[in-house]
Amino acid sequence: MLDKKTLTHLERLEAESIHILREVVSEAEKPVMLYSVGKDSAVMLHLARKAFYPSPPPFPLLHVDTTWKFRAMYELRNRMARESGMELLVYQNPEAKDRGINPFDHGPLHTDMWKTEGLKQALNLYGFDAAFGGARRDEEKSRAKERIFSFRTASHGWDPKNQRPELWNLYNARKNKGESIRVFPISNWTELDIWQYIHLNDVPIVPLYFADKRPTVERDGMLLMVDDDRFPLQPGEEPVMRSIRFRTLGCYPLTGAVESEARTLPEVIQETLLTTTSERQGRAIDKDAGGAGMEKKKQEGYF
């Protein structure tokens, strides 16, 4: 071990992410970590704990909540905040709350108000000037071109043609008052890297990633889990127990499950590798506007 010189790809990725986290803490005035409780957030949080150990990460966790996440996600969220010794801020857009915006009746407005608007409101409310996000470049085409330090105007807009060049590992975190930076420490990780890292480091994740018998209904070709009694069943619909798991986690009425028997991490990875559809396929968000859905959302301020 002592004369080992070439780092493995995971060691290099980890070192890069830690470097990014520390640069932001050193140069930003008021950073925050956006915590969505998914597997990518789990890895990002773990990296933050490594970066500042033995100190707790010197910034709070921010969960932009839609009130429609899986119950298991809320449980893990609260547990991880306790274990990491970090402050947990939960923000729910009051307007969306008042108007009772929900994924069943309001379609795209649900994501727009709870998530896009909610995020902007939260960042403005607390005055954060740098926000860590768990986006990866391999997720989606417009992500592939986003910088690790992604500069946002005072109105949170993103201009893909006017990004700062990013050389070596020198990041420019300077900005004027009111402007902010979104930072993506795990930009260069792939889905497989994330799984492998969770496996090697025993990173706690939501149990919904593993297969189990769960109540489901099939709707528009998607398998949805009936996570609580707010799920309005249509006439003739009856929840069926199926062995399912989730490849990504969001609002439970919007997140499609896959039928699976993978109950352990290696089995999940096995299935992921042998699967023939991409990770975001279970999500509706990428398909608006002729393939440019995510790019458009990002210009509007979506993470």
Partner 1 sequence: MPAHDGTTEQNDGTDDMTDTVADPIYKTDALIAQDIDQYLKVHEHKTMLRFITCGSVDDGKSTLIGRLLYDSKMIFEDQLEALQSDSRKVGTQGHEIDFALLVDGLAAEREQGITIDVAYRFFATEKRKFIVADTPGHEQYTRNMVTGASTADLAVILIDARKGVLTQTRRHSYLAHLIGIQNIVLAVNKMDLVDYDQATFEAIVEDYTAFAKSIGITAFTAMPISGFKGDNITTLSANTPWYQGPSLIEHLETVEVNSATDADKPFRMPVQWVNRPNLDFRGFSGLIATGSVRPGDSVRVLPSGKTSSVSRIVTLNGDLEQAVAGQSVTLCFADEIDCSRGDVIALADSPPQAADQFEATIVWMADEEMLPGRAYWLKIGTQTVTATIQQPKYQVNVNTMEHLAAKTLDLNAIGVANLSTDKQIVFEPYADNRTLGGFILIDKISNATVAAGMLHFSLRRAQNVHWQATDVSRDFHARLKNQRPAVLWFTGLSGAGKSTIANLVEKKLARMNRHTFLLDGDNVRHGLNKDLGFTDADRVENIRRVGEVAKLMTDAGLIVITAFISPFRSERDMVRQMMQPGEFFEVHIDTPLAEAEARDVKGLYKKARAGELKNFTGIDSPYEPPHDPEMRIDTTAMTADEAADAIVARLIP
* Interacting residues with partner 1 between 161 and 180 (CB under 8 A): 161, 163-170, 172, 174-176
Q: Which of 39, 49, 214, 242 touches partner 1 by CB under 8 A?
A: 49
Task: Tell me the two tokens of residue 233.
Answer: 């069943």
User: Of the listed pieces 60-68, 139-147, 203-211, 236-244, which binds partner 1 according to CB under 8 A?
Assistant: 139-147
Neighbour tally for 288: CB within 10 Å: 13
Torsion of CA 50, 53, 58, 60, to 10 degrees: 50
Largest CA distance in the chain: 67
DSSP state of 285: G
Instruction: Please identify, using beta-carbon distances, which residue of 176 and 234 lies nearer to partner 1.
Output: 176
Q: Which of 125, 144, 154, 241 touches partner 1 by CB under 8 A?
A: 144
Is position 137 an interface residue for partner 1 (rule: CB under 8 A)? yes
Is position 234 an interface residue for partner 1 (rule: CB under 8 A)? no
Dist CA 31 CA 60 (whole Å): 8
Q: Which of 30, 82, 141, 219 touches partner 1 by CB under 8 A?
A: 141
CB 169 within 8 A of CB 16: yes
Is position 278 an interface residue for partner 1 (rule: CB under 8 A)? yes
Dist CA 256 CA 259 (whole Å): 10
Phi first, then psi, for residue 52 (nearest 5°) are -110, 5
Q: Which of 108, 157, 160, 207 touches partner 1 by CB under 8 A?
A: 160
Is position 26 an interface residue for partner 1 (rule: CB under 8 A)? yes
How many residues bind partner 1 (CB under 8 A)? The answer is: 72
